[in-house]
Amino acid sequence: MPLLTVDGIVIKNADYKENDRMLTVFTPEYGALGVSVKGCRKKGNTNIACSEIFSFCEFVLFENKGKYSVNSFSLKEAFYPLREDFDKLSCASFCCELVYLSSDHGNVKSDALFSMLYYALSYICYTDNNPLDLALCFAFRALLELGYAPSLTSCAICGGDLRQSTKAAFSSTHGGALCSKCAGGFDVHISVLSLEAVRRMMKLQDSEMRKVVLPPEVREELLPLTVEFCETVLERKLKSGKTIGKIV
């Protein structure tokens, strides 16, 4: 049977059968792979370490008719502190769920998204930055990478320049910010400060993500709007969206 050696981060896992686990492993080369880990939930089985959510491993996988199972692995990073803090756990889960839902959306540049996820999890895990700021920064940068960046400098309907506007709204269904003339009754108000914060976050490099420190009112305004925008473009509900909504 052919073996495949690949770096990957576990972005989703589920128990199945008596002792097994099914993983979704996000890899730089192949995007998301479904991988089974046989017997890992048996007492004393050391394969359990590679089957935990967020585990970053070098996996050696068996491939059989397009299905993968773990042959061996070397754990590079467990991101263990994420499991000990509700806010960090919720934000890290949100980043992983976003990658999971985007993985069936066409041309995902896996290597760029992988690097972004690695940095986001590392900073959420090991820095004192507000984990929501990192999750929001990750979300907008991931959307940009996936080709779903919201319109921010011009109105998503009429194209009018928003950079000098003092008032704007945001509409997920129209794909971004709207000028006050185009905004309808159901569109959400967005402050000039929040718009500028998103513009700046999307320009950052992976290693610069920890520079993001959002004012509380911007964080509060951006969070529901970001979750809704992600759900609209990915056409799926984010389970973690509700959880992170409780952190603010």
Using CB under 5 A as the criterion, which residues of the chain lie in contact with Zn ion when the complex forms?
A: 155, 157-158, 160, 179, 182
Quick one: 15 or 161, whose CB is closer to Zn ion? 161
CA-nearest of 33, 34, 37, 27 to 6 is 27
- The structure tokens listed for 240 are 């973690």
Quote the DSSP letter at residue 70. Answer: E
H/E run at residue 197:
helix 192-202
3/158 with CB nearer Zn ion: 158
Strand residue runs (E) in the chain: 3-16, 20-27, 31-37, 56-64, 67-77, 168-171, 176-179, 188-190
Least distance in angstroms from the C-beta of 171 to Zn ion? 10
> Of the two residues 81 and 160, which places its CB atom closer to Zn ion in the complex?
160
**CB 161, min distance to Zn ion, A:** 10
Smallest separation (angstroms) from Zn ion to the CB of 82: 41
- By beta-carbon proximity to Zn ion, the closer residue of 162 and 201 is 162
In the complex, the smallest distance separating the C-beta of residue 187 from Zn ion, rounded to whole angstroms, is 11
How many Å is the Cα radius of gyration of the chain?
19
Question: Residue 117 or 157: which CB sits closer to Zn ion?
Answer: 157
For residue 131, the minimal CB distance to Zn ion (Å) is: 34
Task: Report the amino acid identity of residue 153.
Answer: T
Query: Are the C-beta atoms of 89 and 83 separated by less than 8 Å?
Result: yes
Nearer to Zn ion, 45 or 154 (CB): 154
The Cα–Cα gap between 98 and 144 comes to 13
Considering the complex, what minimum distance in angstroms separates the CB of residue 76 from Zn ion?
48
Q: Which amino acid is it at 227?
A: V
Collapse the DSSP code of 67 into the 3-class scheme (helix H, G, I; strand E, B; otherwise coil) and give the result.
strand
